[in-house]
Amino acid sequence: MPEPKAEKIEPVAAGASLEKWEPRIIAFLCYWCSYAGADAAGTLRLKYPHNVLIVRVMCSGRVDPELISGAFAQGADGVLVCGCQIGCCHYISGNHKTMARMPLLGRLLVEMGLEPGRFRHEWVSASEGEKFARITNEITEEVRRLGPLNWPGRLHARGVGHGEDLEPWGTPQ
């Protein structure tokens, strides 16, 4: 992927206290509707969780599925993708592509071992500040209920990224 990746999120250390754990949710919001919707939530003085880390993109259709798998692989506990309501895409059909991708993407993530509640997509228009606050609250509570995903730590535990301590085969004879 040519563009720089987000700063790596440190894996949760084994045995770390879960009391201090807070879900980290990456939200990809489209510039034209959903980002303005999040803005509207702020203007309306609605509270929504600080756990949602917003990445603004020009169109939800631009959210390559690789960005979503990459977010989970680098330590996100949940991913939210928001775009314009169907029929309102600034680019006419960008969010149609999002819509067509999501069911297959969801299937892949579940078959890879993720819980379905960690991934969600919604259509949020510029005026739907309340809806934005509601779904961010919902996904945060759902992910909190599911617990830390800690994908990097789980891969590490299965032997990815560190060598095994090996005994030498033996000295040559």
C-alpha distances (whole Å) from 67 to each of 4, 6, 12, 27, 129 are 11, 10, 21, 11, 25
Which one of 34-42, 50-58, 75-83, 165-173 is the stretch in contact with other proteins (CB under 8 A)? Answer: 165-173
- First-to-last alpha carbon distance for the chain, in angstroms, is 48
**Which of 72, 76, 133, 148 contacts other proteins by CB under 8 A?**
72
Smallest distance, other proteins to C-beta of residue 8, A: 13
Q: Could you tell me the strand order of the sheet in which 119-123 lies?
A: 52-57, 25-30, 78-83, 119-123
The verdict on 158 binding other proteins (CB under 8 A) reads: yes
C-alpha distances (whole Å) from 10 to each of 7, 42, 76 are 9, 29, 10
CA pair distance 145, 139, nearest whole angstrom: 10
The verdict on 35 binding other proteins (CB under 8 A) reads: no
The verdict on 58 binding other proteins (CB under 8 A) reads: no
Smallest distance, other proteins to C-beta of residue 86, A: 8
Which one of 8-16, 49-57, 65-73, 129-137 is the stretch in contact with other proteins (CB under 8 A)? Answer: 65-73
CA pair distance 42, 130, nearest whole angstrom: 10
What is the footprint of other proteins within residues 85-124 (CB under 8 A)? 96-105, 107-109, 111-114
Give the three-class secondary structure for 127. coil
Nearer to other proteins, 43 or 66 (CB): 66
The verdict on 17 binding other proteins (CB under 8 A) reads: no
Determine contact, residues 60/99, Cβ cutoff 8 Å: no
Which one of 19-27, 37-45, 64-72, 127-135 is the stretch in contact with other proteins (CB under 8 A)? Answer: 64-72
Contact set with other proteins (CB under 8 A): 1-2, 64-66, 68-70, 72-73, 96-105, 107-109, 111-114, 151, 154-155, 158-161, 163-164, 166, 169-173
